[in-house]
Amino acid sequence: MKKIELLAPAGDLEKLKIAIDYGADAVYFGGEMFSLRAGAGNLTLEEIREGVEYAHARGKKAYLTVNIYAHNEDIKPFEEYLNKIKDLDIDAFLVSDPGILLLLKEAIPQAELHLSTQANMTNFKAAEFWHHQGVKRIVLARELTFQEIHQLQRKLPEGMEMEAFVQGAMCISYSGRCLLSNYMIERDANRGQCAHPCRWKYSLVEEQRPNEYYPVEEDQRGTYILNSRDLCMIEYIPELIEAGLASAKIEGRMKSVFYVATIVSAYRKAIDAYYENPENYEFQEEWLQELKKVSHREFTTGFYFDKATNKDQDYQTSAYTREYSFTGLVKDYDAATGLALVEQRNKMSVGEEIEIFGPYTDFFTQTLEVLLDEDGQPLESAPHPQQLLQIKVNQPVTAGFMLRKKR
């Protein structure tokens, strides 16, 4: 049985490395232009080179997203960009625009092409069309049910693969094809600049009463009528694998390294547990609880089991649930002293209870009893961002482990 790929977001080079260290089989990232996450850190040409080499040295893959819908003014800059990246050993390119796909094939004939979810791939005839254009993998539209995915899998052209999102933010518009942001504040979602107006608060206004705002729902002054819950499919790993997916994709190039590490780690454990013993696989509630320790909205299974309903929306608030703070990233560890060198990410103080976790491990909890500055001087608290600290830890750690605390 070919193992399903765990595909993680990499908003910048640090997140790319963290995703791989915590168990991703592949990462997807954007360059400084032509991807749909203009607000992410994204990678320079040199960072792409370093990231690809980092992935390949560990037997992992690296995919570049160039999935904007290009305007005429984008064509020449994109051709110039292709000339700069054509010699990089990128494993695949995610595209949605046919013109971008054509330019890629001309500049890099050997390129492996993946069709972005932005292209709204919803049926087997569309898959056949994209197969004729040289696409090897299709990232399914989020609007497909398991039943539709099974039907699609049976009719796929030979050698074509399916990838689908399993975790992360959902879009109220059809697989991201939203015009609200462009219409309201001239930030084009299809060119990477979405302002997320689907998370804004709305009320109903009647034409003849322009200054009177009515609640859309009874007893609520305004409502988040477009606000989807976050997708979460960790409880359904067998169903995802049995549907024939080649890749399980995590959304979140705009999210933190803490988010990437936590989500990837939980899915890695669940996927590995399934393949170790498919017949007797049992979901572990602790995996879901781990996902809830990062910033998130309430969860939904989206369209996988049926068409989405009002239960898949959150009409009360667009705010995230943030029960834990990411407090530090381990940079080094001295086994002789039990001291970890930690880069601070949020304030922590002596006497607080912290949780520490790392790649392929379970977390452990301890009280923060010894906190020193970089020179070994005692501290009561560490309030300065990215301050280097020494912390006494109760169990061995390595670079890349993370510290968190409950708010």
Instruction: Name the band, by pLDDT with cuts 50, 70 and 90, for residue 187.
Output: confident
Express each pLDDT in 15-59 by its tens digit.
Answer: 999 999 999 999 999 998 787 666 656 899 999 999 999 999 999
In the structure encoding, which two tokens stand for residue 395, read together?
């169990």
d(CA 214, CA 314): 18
Neighbours of 337 (CB within 10 A): 10
Instruction: Name the band, by pLDDT with cuts 50, 70 and 90, for residue 219.
Output: very low
d(CA 253, CA 40): 6
Check whether 367 has a pLDDT greater than 50.
yes
Express each pLDDT in 55-113 by its tens digit.
Answer: 999 999 999 999 989 999 999 999 999 999 999 999 999 999 999 999 999 999 999 99
Instruction: Name the band, by pLDDT with cuts 50, 70 and 90, for residue 321.
Output: confident
In the structure encoding, which two tokens stand for residue 42, read together?
């994204």
d(CA 251, CA 29): 11
Domains in the chain, ordered, with CATH?
5-174+227-312 (3.20.20.380), 324-406 (2.40.30.10)
pTM, whole model, 2 decimals?
A: 0.88
d(CA 374, CA 14): 22
Determine contact, residues 160/148, Cβ cutoff 8 Å.
Answer: no
Determine contact, residues 78/103, Cβ cutoff 8 Å.
Answer: yes
Q: Which of 103-107, 175-179, 224-228 has the highest mean pLDDT?
A: 103-107
Average pLDDT over residues 275-285: 96
Beta bridge partners of 7: 26, 249
Q: CA triplet 178, 181, 183: central angle to 5 degrees?
A: 95
